[in-house]
Amino acid sequence: MTNVQDQANALEAALRESEEFQQMKELYSKVNNNAESKQLFDEFRDIQMTLQQKQMQGEELLEEEIQKAQNSAQEIENDENIRGLMEAEQKMSELIQNLNRVIMKPIEELYEINNQ
């Protein structure tokens, strides 16, 4: 019988070696090695975290907070290093979504069989 946890560990190792992850790692290093990019990136993440926390707590977002987030997102779009990292993150996210579909397939099939 296959040990699922061993397979998951092998998948983790494969993800670390994947082209998508290696590209993300390289681009993340570029962001961190550029003072302006790093500052913009850190500010953007702080704003995102603050807004997410407020939403999770059911607090209403203020117009000025939304505007600040939009301004920060625009600055991010103008930074070549961060834009590249975000594109790489998107590719990695797509890979993970595809893996999730494969992993969930037995459960989906089980429920489809039981629903007939």
Q: How far is CA 78 from CA 11, 48, 114, in A?
A: 35, 18, 51
Mean pLDDT per block of 10 residues along the chain (116 residues) reads 87 97 97 97 94 91 91 93 96 96 92 71
Q: What pTM, to 2 d.p., does this model score?
A: 0.80
Task: Give the side-chain half-sphere CA count within 13 A for 19.
Answer: 2
What is the per-residue pLDDT for 51? 92
Q: Maximum CA pair distance of the chain?
A: 58
CATH fold label, 19-113? YheA-like fold (1.20.1500)
Amino acid at 110: L
